[in-house]
Amino acid sequence: MYQPAEDSYLLQKFVRKYAFGRVLDLGTGSGIQALTAVERKDVREVIAVDINENAIKELKKEVSKKKIRKIAVKKSDLFSNVKDKFDTIIFNPPYLPQDKIGNEIIEDSALYGGKHGWELSEKFFNKVNQFLVAKGKILFLFSSLTNKEKIEEIISHNLLEFKELEKQKLPMFETLYVYLIEKSKILKELERKNIENLKYLTHGKRGNIFTGISDKSKRVKTHFAKKEIVKVGIKVKRKESSAIERMRNEANWLKILNKKNIGPRLLFSGEDYLVYEFVEGEFILDWIKDNNKKDIQKVLVAVLKQCFELDQLGVNKEEMHHPLKHIIVTKDNHPVLLDFERCSRSDKVKNVTQFVEFICRIREELENKDIKLNKIDLREKAKSYKDDINPKNLEIIIKYLSS
């Protein structure tokens, strides 16, 4: 069992100040934070949990001895035996990187937070949102030995915001940090709209991509709507991005283009985010490597037809000459165009010609699938199309690729 030390007393200082409502003390150890929280008038209940049976046994004895009614003590591996939501969640995790003696790993769950020290904290943050009320607070302590930048990245990847309450320097070049962490405005808005199980997926130049699940029936204005659970993608503007109004621009264009069956199906959007039905599949070049000539030709033609629709609308999507991560092919061999942040009106449309240029650039991959093409011939056909954009010139390109 972990006995109170500098980190415990530093965190205790802020538990005295911030704990309120229903409190969860995760990894309670000696119980110092739970026993401190219960002293506050604003606290109505404390649940203290730990994976260590001896820690649970000793704390139960102390609670019984002091006749404290507002504390419940139970065994739990993080949230495995925790129910409902809390106003305050306290976590002073094991944060040291894993140590070894020779090739043998030292096992001590009270000290080591994983190979790099942050793995257990990552598990905590990946689950904590479903146990925290909208206006709840997390009091979290960690060490510089854990990698401060990584911890902050994990926090932001869970759509949480943090404020440093205090840092304390220790011997051996170590610093302790206490953070007050709350749900971001975007996270609270998404949860109000019944988006659950949010998980960070990846990021682009201007946005972070998350996945989640949504019950579409809750957005239908009837008492008899049938439950319909769908996986969703959520694009959130990156704080580092200087791009202005990109999310709103993409949402506005998706509303228009969805009517032409182009792009992922938009569900709703906000100032700095948009939510759409998630598209399962492979990026186009990966998909080409695993498929046959006939199916590849069909997909290339389908993309060209979507590009033609964009040209007809007088819209430039941009990036179609290098759409490696902008086209996903589903299991039904349907290509879906992604990322419309830079989409705009134009008198000089170039969606078809840009995609033809991409086809020319992947000639080697296509020839491996027995699709023969002459780049000079294909570019000439694209030039003719550019000079006179019409279905006939598009069909000439399609016939050339389909032969």
Q: Note the pLDDT of residue 105.
A: 54
Structure confidence by residue, pLDDT tens digits, 135-181: 999 999 999 989 999 999 999 999 999 999 999 999 888 999 999 99
pLDDT at 109 over 70: no
Q: Note the pLDDT of residue 388.
A: 97
Which segments within 204-303 are labelled E, that is strand? 207-215, 229-237, 266-270, 273-277, 282-283
Please give the mean pLDDT across all residues of the chain: 92
The label of the residue with tokens 């150890």 reads: 29
Q: Note the pLDDT of residue 68.
A: 93
The label of the residue with tokens 């790099």 reads: 116
Length of the chain: 403
Q: Is the dihedral of CA 386, 392, 394, 398 positive or negative?
A: negative
Structure confidence by residue, pLDDT tens digits, 23-49: 999 999 999 999 999 999 999 999 999
pLDDT at 339 over 90: yes
Separation CA 350–CA 251 (nearest Å): 21
Separation CA 245–CA 60 (nearest Å): 55
Separation CA 307–CA 321 (nearest Å): 11
Q: Label residue 246 by pLDDT band (50, 70, 90).
A: confident
Q: 51: closest CA among 28, 67, 24?
A: 28
Q: What's 45-112 look like in SS3?
A: EEEEEECCHHHHHHHHHHHHHHCCCCEEEEECCCCCCCCCCEEEEEECCCCECCCEECCEECCCCCCE
Q: Are the C-beta atoms of residues 25 and 90 closer than 8 Å to each other?
A: yes
pLDDT at 21 over 60: yes
Q: Note the pLDDT of residue 223.
A: 61
pLDDT at 106 over 80: no
Domains, the chain: 6-183 (3.40.50.150), 187-277 (3.30.200), 282-402 (1.10.510)
Structure confidence by residue, pLDDT tens digits, 177-214: 999 999 999 999 999 999 999 999 998 878 899 999 99
pLDDT at 100 over 90: no
Distance of CA 393 to the CA centre of its chain: 42
pLDDT at 1 over 60: no
Separation CA 403–CA 400 (nearest Å): 6
Structure tokens at 95: 């944060």
Structure tokens at 330: 């589903």
Q: Note the pLDDT of residue 112.
A: 61
- The residue-averaged pLDDT of 57-72 equals 94
Nearest-5° angle of CA 340, CA 346, CA 348? 115
Crossing angle (nearest 10°) for helices 293-313 and 391-402: 170
Q: Are the C-beta atoms of residues 314 and 302 closer than 8 Å to each other?
A: no
Q: Note the pLDDT of residue 103.
A: 56
Q: Are the C-beta atoms of residues 71 and 61 closer than 8 Å to each other?
A: no
Q: 244: closest CA among 206, 187, 190?
A: 206
pLDDT at 228 over 90: no
Q: What's 4's DSSP letter?
A: P
- The residue-averaged pLDDT of 18-22 equals 98
Q: Note the pLDDT of residue 303.
A: 98
Q: Note the pLDDT of residue 172.
A: 81
Q: Note the pLDDT of residue 221.
A: 61
